Amino acid sequence: MRLLIIGGTSFVGRTIVGDALGRGHEVTTFNRGLTGKDLDGVEALRGDRSTDEGVRPLAGRRFDAVIDPGGLVPAHVLRTARAVADSSPFYAFVSTTAVYQAWNAEVDESATTWPGVADQDGDPADLAHLPVHKRGCELAVEQTYGLGACLVARAGSIVGPHDNLGQLPWWLTRIAQGGRVIAPGDPARGLQLIDVRDLSTFVLAQVEAQAAGMHNVVPDGPNTTMGRLVDTCVQATGSDAVPVWMDEGFLLSRGVRPWTEVPLWIPDVPETAGFWAVSGASAKAAGLRTRPFGDSVRDTWGWLRSGGEVEAAPGTPPLGLAGEKEQQVLAAWDSAGVLQRRRTGWSGWAG
């Protein structure tokens, strides 16, 4: 197939480009040439879809499908979709499960989303409005192509080599340093993490089949736990790190911020009971297959060890506790007299 891939130089886009080339497709990338280097074997077009003039390089080009793995501004995606609508019969957009409004119960594709606007403009680095903007991007594609000629892949939390989000790399890097490591809440808390390579395989398979639809691209159920995450990072790095499992209430009382200061931690409270309970049944029925989570951890560590670095996307907040704050929280936990109680039963979770 002749594929146009928007961006195509970092994380999800880079992985899709590599997979597409490996499948024998002819790949053209369209980007500004600023974020990263195009992979060998592609035809690279330069342009900027934030303006009408910027998408002119697409004029007169014909493709069997367009894959848009990173659109963040609805107006930019709308401009792109309109520019290729007459010359490319299928459009695949990688969105996010963050478009859903409520997380107090399991969500599927029918759940209420944020009210996006298809022609809304904005700053791609404005991640505070990511849920609304991503929904607007979905609408831009749907309104231009119609539901029968587009794929919307709502990805969950993505991990794997060439990560530009940094959550799993943070855990690996911190655990590799050794010592006592703060671990949040119940080690049995389930997580749903999708490997970027499995996401890529799914998207390309749908594109090859011209299979329109909307899917939550997540494992259909938890594919690891917080305890297994920590344990597998210890095994992969060969570290002597010792996790210190702390009550979530204690962490919050010490001002520790979920998700950013302790990546992948979402407090287990009623308001977020569905955060790691997104239905992946639709994607599974459409062919999504997911690798063992331990493979994602080991391959990500291998990438980091080979010189890979997280090049954070614009607007991404810094991850992880500052060393001084981490030591202060550990000391406060020791003073509370509960360290020994929470240490017991940690080791033994399989990767």
Q: What phi and psi, each to the nearest 5 degrees, are found at residue 348?
A: 120, -10
Closest CA to 134 of 117, 109, 159: 117
Closest CA to 15 of 5, 24, 30: 5
Side-chain-side CA neighbours of residue 107 (13 Å): 27
The pLDDT tens digits for 273-286 are 999 999 999 999 99
- DSSP letter at 38? P
CB 104 within 8 Å of CB 273: yes
Q: pLDDT tens, position by position, for the chain (351 residues)?
A: 999 999 999 999 999 999 999 999 999 999 999 888 999 999 999 999 999 999 999 998 999 999 999 999 999 999 999 999 999 999 999 999 999 999 999 999 999 999 999 999 999 988 889 999 999 999 999 999 999 999 999 999 999 999 999 999 999 999 999 999 999 999 999 999 999 999 999 999 999 999 999 999 999 999 999 999 999 999 999 999 999 999 999 999 999 999 999 999 999 999 999 999 999 999 999 999 999 999 999 999 999 999 999 988 888 888 999 999 999 999 999 998 644 554 544 443 333
- Cα separation, 142 vs 68, in Å, equals 13
CB 106 within 8 Å of CB 279: yes
- So what's the pLDDT on residue 214? 98
Distances (CA, A) of 43 to 71, 240, 300, 331: 20, 46, 28, 55
- Cα separation, 91 vs 213, in Å, equals 11
CB 104 within 8 Å of CB 148: no
Distances (CA, A) of 39 to 5, 30, 71, 229, 249: 12, 12, 20, 31, 46
The pLDDT tens digits for 151-181 are 999 999 999 999 999 999 999 999 999 999 9
Distances (CA, A) of 54 to 32, 74, 274, 297: 9, 16, 40, 39
Please give the helix or strand (H or E) that residue 131 lies within, else none: helix 130-145
- Cα separation, 82 vs 84, in Å, equals 6
CATH 3.40.50.720 spans which residues of the chain? 2-155
Architecture per CATH, 2-155:
3-Layer(aba) Sandwich (3.40)
Percent of the chain with pLDDT over 90: 90
- So what's the pLDDT on residue 344? 46
On whether the pTM is more than 0.75, the answer is: yes
Coarse DSSP helix, strand, coil percentages of the chain, rounded to the nearest 5 percent: 40, 20, 45
244: left (phi over 0), alpha (psi -120 to 50) or beta: beta
CATH 3.90.25 spans which residues of the chain? 167-191+223-276+295-343
CATH number 1.10.10 given to 167-191+223-276+295-343: no
Strand bridging mode 190-191 / 224-225: antiparallel
- Cα separation, 145 vs 85, in Å, equals 7
For residue 223, give the 3-state DSSP assignment: coil
